[in-house]
Chain A
């Protein structure tokens, strides 16, 4: 019957069915990790973006749809964008007045930034070729789903956006401040650097100052990292100071920094290690807090060593490993609550020999002996086991108060060939970049009194996608931790868990066969 054919055509048309707390879109040809995500403003989720390919308009271009939803998943507006067939969204932000989106044109190797007003009417556009090989690799990776680990676009309340990228042809940082219409206000670049790589990522941002962490490497293959803190004025970009992250005989790694407006100083936090050792191989000695004045001078320091301070509250050895399990901790986030307490969120991991990798290599050697052709195996004889979630709780005076361990199933990250010779720390960064850890995000409440940490309890070794569990560790207003667990009983091809407004998580599921994407908000129980 012809009706059926008409109905069948209607079914493949993109349509939206909006429910109470969920949306369903059909006709989605392709879904990338970055096709949807939260829009942040002042570190709070103010909405979501969805970017997907509707159709081909000609041989070289596609018709894309960009939809923006509010924090309750209600559509604000949608707009169509015609661009090349390899166009991907890599970041989105909202500054209270204007939305900004960063796209990467994989084929033409260029980024495009577009700003829209609150009604999704275009306000500005800026295209920039990416000529640096490292820059191309970064954008390509993020477009294909890798975690950049930092934001490219940083909103400046109602004024504009900071854009962090790399310079043309060089792997040196390039920070540009744009107004809402994407007119360049100021720019800060690494000039005449003696480093082969010098990258900047957002450290903090206030009404007056913008702080960036500058990571430097002498050569691209070097395992030695140096980190500087660069502080500039937001209004004109003038440099307040740039100082190395070191104190006496120690270097500071994985730093987090915030501005204490009451005391008018900057507080830097990270783990510290012996300056003489190479950062990627060095063993962390503990956590350190540095207080810097407005000139960048260190005016205060507090160290918590594994050997003494942490071992008092939990059994740990001098290398920062939990006694008994002998596991390391990779730090995912650092959270400061309104009462001055600091929480460091990490996950335990351990590099171990891989049974499957070794077997694969033996088979490869055996096959080589039999055939005379030694092709080798791609599997590493090492793997990274991921264990429990750990939260270190510090007092307002930066002394360690408690270590909270939240048990979850072991998760295995298979490593590439050659990984055996890399340090555990290096491998943990690799695993983090490919999304191997279970940690998904942490979310601080608007009044900074509570926070939640989300992780997915998924045994990749068993490979049972239907049995995933979303775990949510909540620091409650009563100042205790509670754990909520949501079973992700799903039949979808893939799914993504995103930050949501306070007290909720956003779950997006992609059904490849039906070309459908379902998105819903789930309330966290605590």
Chain B
């Protein structure tokens, strides 16, 4: 046990040295690199696993065998595509940390073969997943919502349980069963041939099919909770963290940050004062049909029911003194995940969402240069999209069902006229502290905004300053094109 503890502390210390400290993140942030192509090593491992899984398929019917193998190949292709679409983070920060927690779980459960690997996923939706081939994913948004490593470890235990229980292959077999279900086939054919009520009949058939698949999915979730908790109980983590995870998952619809953005603080400039009319806001009272809340339509069971089941397991545990892990490393990972969500939203061209999150975070880190640069870049992009009549692709319209702070932000942004966005973008960047001008991302954002018609800065001079400071800078190519005022 002592050896285990030392090993864990050692890893934590090693990881801690990789993360920027509190004071550093106050000033700046360097985002993780974008992984746009899967590594040869990872692809080879996945292929190996695919072949292994295919070899194990042994159903009585040949056509079912072929179908299942095709599904496995599709699963492989999907994962490769997900990685190639930049959704995975493989960096010296998140990856080793998450893997270190996973390793801890395996060390505490020596009966399990440690054949999974975990990655952080660039997603603003709080979730974790097992892809079925040994790859586990943990979204940045879920990391940002958890409170300590114990909770993170329980989520991983749950996903590990999915993997080792082979839930993915069971789901594929259920899909195969549905696909070759003679009765279902007859029902579909009858509905298709039907002269009248075709839509209604097909809807009923597929609803029934969905209910069956969802029921299986919910059973798997309970199993993964139960088995995952067994793995979790073998570690030094606090068992009650499992209950707290359920409470957190139950509240994911409530925003992590509910404070209002002080738009006046950010966008009121001496040369371009904020107009009070931009801040007027009336929450819409329009009624909207609520989403289907029926349990039978969910893929996951109700979190409260899951918490009750876990509580029963906790009561059966022998009394023990829990060893709470030091939270410094986790705390850094969580903070960084908030920055990384912004980077991801920007990368996926969700400029409105990126701007909203950046403004929210800059309430906590007002001097952070990375946030200043991303705010400038987002405003510039929103200007370009609005000019091209494509704003709807990158900025949502208000909705009374959104969190209040987001709805207010969207109302504000949607009110702005084209040149008002340009003026805010330029004035925001031009009024940042001089210290920010030393940063590469900031200078690039400043150059973008200096190309706007309203700019009083000469973009060529900004470009010159950038090239002087960063002769090998990553934005040389973009800036080498002739500057045309948009």
Q: A9-B192, A14-B199 are in contact. Are A76 and B396 (CB under 8 A)?
A: no
Residue of A nearest to B66 (CB): A1
Known: A9-B188, A13-B202, A74-B288. A525 touches B387 (CB 8 A): yes
A86 adjacent to chain B (CB < 8 Å): no
- CB-based contact A56/B192 at 8 Å: no
Q: A13 touching B200 by the CB < 8 A rule? A: no
Contacts of B179 in A (CB 8 A): 2-3, 6
Q: Is the Cβ of A1 less than 8 Å from the Cβ of B289?
A: no
Q: Given A10-B206, A20-B393, A523-B391, A57 and B192 touching (CB < 8 A)?
A: no
Which listed residue, A27, A58, A72, A526, touches B418 by the CB 8 Å rule? A526
* Cβ–Cβ contact A27 & B199, under 8 A: yes
Interface centre among B70, B192, B199, by most A CB within 10 Å?
B199
A27 to B203, CA, bound (A): 12
Bound CA span A432–B452, Å: 42
**CA gap between A523 and B417 in the complex, in Å:** 9
- Report whether B206 and A119 are in contact in the complex, using a CB–CB cutoff of 8 Å: no
Binary CB contact string for chain A from 493 to 526 against chain B (1 if under 8 A, 0 otherwise): 0000000000100000000000000001111011
Task: State in angstroms the CA–CA spacing of A161 and B192 once bound together.
Answer: 42
Distance (whole angstroms) from the CB of A76 to the closest CB of chain B: 6
Given the contacts A56-B195, A76-B286, A525 and B389 also touching, CB distance less than 8 Å: yes
Residues of B within 8 A of A525 (CB): 386-387, 389, 417-418
Chain B: which residue is nearest A29 at the CB level? Answer: B199
| Contact indicator A2/B185 (Cβ below 8 Å) | yes
Answer whether residue A168 sits at the interface, using C-beta atoms and an 8 A cutoff: no
From A57, A75, A503, give the contact of B196 (CB < 8 A): A57
| In the complex, B23 has a CB within 8 A of chain A | no
Whether B188 contacts A526 by the Cβ 8 Å rule is no
Interface residues of B in 190-233 (CB under 8 A from A): 191-192, 195-200, 202-203, 206
- Is A317 positioned at the interface, with any CB of B under 8 Å from its CB? no
Q: How far is the CA of A13 from the CA of B414 in the complex (A)?
A: 34
Nearest CB of B to A258, in Å = 26
B386 A118 Cβ-Cβ under 8 A: no
A9–B393 contact, CB under 8 A?
no
Q: Does A70 contact B (CB under 8 A)?
A: yes
Q: Which residue of the partner chain B has the closest CB to A525?
A: B418
Q: Is there contact, CB below 8 Å, between A486 and B389?
A: yes
B180 partner, pick from A2, A21, A78, A522, beta carbons under 8 A: A2
Question: Which B393-410 residues sit within 8 Å CB-CB of chain A?
Answer: 393, 395-399
Tell whether, in the assembled complex, residue B418 and residue A13 are in contact, meaning their CB atoms are under 8 Å apart.
no
Whose C-beta in chain B lies nearest to the C-beta of A59? B196
With A and B bound together, what is the CA distance between A14 and B203 in angstroms?
9
Which residue, of B70, B179, B195, B196, has the highest number of chain A Cβ atoms within 10 A?
A: B196
B 67-80 binary contact with A (CB < 8 Å = 1; else 0): 10010000000000
Contact A523 B389 (CB under 8 A): yes
Q: With A and B bound together, what is the CA distance between A523 and B199 in angstroms?
A: 35
Chain A residue at minimum C-beta to C-beta distance from B415 = A503
A382 to B60, CA, bound (A): 77
State A174–B187 Cα separation when bound (angstroms).
52
- Give the complex CA separation of A54 and B397 in angstroms: 29
Tell me if B67 and A119 are in contact (CB < 8 A): no
Once A3-B179, A77-B289 are accepted as A-B contacts, the answer to whether A522 and B389 lie under 8 Å apart by CB is yes
Residues on A with C-beta less than 8 A from B203 are: 13
Q: In the complex, what residues of A have CB within 8 A of residue B393's CB?
A: 20-21
Min Cβ gap A42→B in Å is: 15
- Minimum CB–CB distance from B399 to chain A (whole Å) comes to 6
Contacts of B481 in A (CB 8 A): none
Given A1-B67, A2-B185, A526-B418, the answer on whether A72 and B199 have CB atoms closer than 8 Å is no
Q: What is the CA–CA distance of A503 and B200 in the complex, to the nearest angstrom?
A: 39
Rounded to whole Å, the gap between the CB of B105 and the closest CB of chain A is: 36
Question: CB-CB < 8 A to B192: which residues of A?
Answer: 9
Q: Which chain A residues lie closer than 8 Å to B196 at the CB level?
A: 55-59
A55 & B200 in contact (Cβ 8 Å cutoff): yes
Cβ of A132 under 8 Å from chain B? no
Q: What 1/0 mask marks residues of chain A from 160 to 185 whose CB sits below 8 Å from any chain B CB? A: 00000000000000000000000000
Q: Number of B interface residues, CB 8 Å?
A: 36
Docked complex Cα distance between A521 and B418 (Å):
16
List of B residues within 8 angstroms of A54 by Cβ: 199-200
Q: Judge whether B284 is part of the interface by a CB distance below 8 angstroms.
A: yes
Residues of B within 8 A of A77 (CB): 288-289
A24 an interface residue at 8 Å Cβ cutoff?
A: no
Chain A proximity of B425: nearest CB distance (Å): 15
**Which residue on B lies nearest to A505, using beta carbons?**
B389
Chain A residues in 8 Å Cβ range of B399: 72, 74
A523 touches B386 (CB 8 A): yes
Residues of A within 8 A of B398 (CB): 72
A217 to B395, CA, bound (A): 53
User: Which residues of the partner chain B approach A22 to less than 8 Å between Cβ atoms?
Assistant: 392
Q: How far is the CB of A282 from chain B (nearest CB, A)?
A: 43
Indicate whether B22 reaches chain A with its CB closer than 8 angstroms.
no
Within 8 A of B (CB), among A1-26: 1-3, 5-6, 9-10, 13-14, 19-22
Nearest Cβ distance between residue A48 and chain B, in whole angstroms? 12
Q: Which residues of A contact B200 (CB under 8 A)?
A: 54-55, 57, 63
Whole-angstrom CA separation of A120 from B288 in the bound complex:
10
Q: How far is B206's CA from A14's CA once the two chains are assembled, in angstroms?
A: 12
0/1 string, A44-85, CB within 8 A of B gives 1: 000100000011111100010000001011111110000000
Scan B371-400; emit 1 where CB is below 8 A from any A CB, else 0: 000000000000000110101110111110
- Chain A residues lying within 8 Å of B199, measured Cβ to Cβ, are 13-14, 27, 54-55, 63
Residue of B nearest to A117 (CB): B287
Select which of A13, A20, A58 is within 8 A of B397 by beta carbon: A20
Which of A1, A6, A118 has a CB less than 8 Å from the CB of B287?
A118
Q: Which residues of B contact A57 (CB under 8 A)?
A: 196-197, 200
B288 touches A70 (CB 8 A): yes
On chain A, the residues within 8 Å of B180 by CB distance are 2
CB contacts (< 8 Å) of A5 on chain B: these are: 188
Which residues in chain B, 148-194, are within 8 Å of chain A measured between CB atoms?
Answer: 179-180, 185, 188, 191-192
Residue interface mask A82-110, B partner, CB < 8 A = 1: 00000000000000000000000000000
Question: In the complex, which residues of chain B have a beta carbon less than 8 angstroms from the beta carbon of A75?
Answer: 288-289
Assembled-state Cα–Cα distance A135/B321 (Å): 85
**CB–CB A70/B284 < 8 A:** yes
For residue B184, which residue of chain A has the nearest CB? A6
- Whether A13 pairs with B395 at a CB distance below 8 angstroms is no
CA distance A70 to B397 in the complex (A): 11
Instruction: For the complex, give the distance between the alpha carbons of A71 and B387 in Å.
Output: 22
B202: chain A residues at CB < 8 Å are 9, 13
**Sample of 12 more A-B contacts, CB < 8 Å, known A27-B199, A74-B399, A119-B287:** A2-B179, A6-B188, A9-B191, A55-B196, A70-B284, A75-B288, A75-B289, A76-B289, A119-B289, A522-B392, A523-B386, A523-B392
Listed by A's residue number, 17 A-B pairs whose Cβ atoms lie within 8 Å are: A2-B179, A9-B192, A9-B202, A13-B203, A13-B206, A55-B196, A55-B197, A56-B196, A56-B198, A57-B200, A70-B286, A72-B397, A76-B289, A486-B389, A520-B392, A521-B392, A521-B397
Q: Name the 6 nearest CB pairs between A and B, nearest first.
A: A21-B392, A72-B397, A55-B199, A77-B289, A525-B418, A20-B396
Q: Which A residues contact B (CB, under 8 angstroms)?
A: 1-3, 5-6, 9-10, 13-14, 19-22, 27, 47, 54-59, 63, 70, 72-78, 118-120, 486, 503, 520-523, 525-526
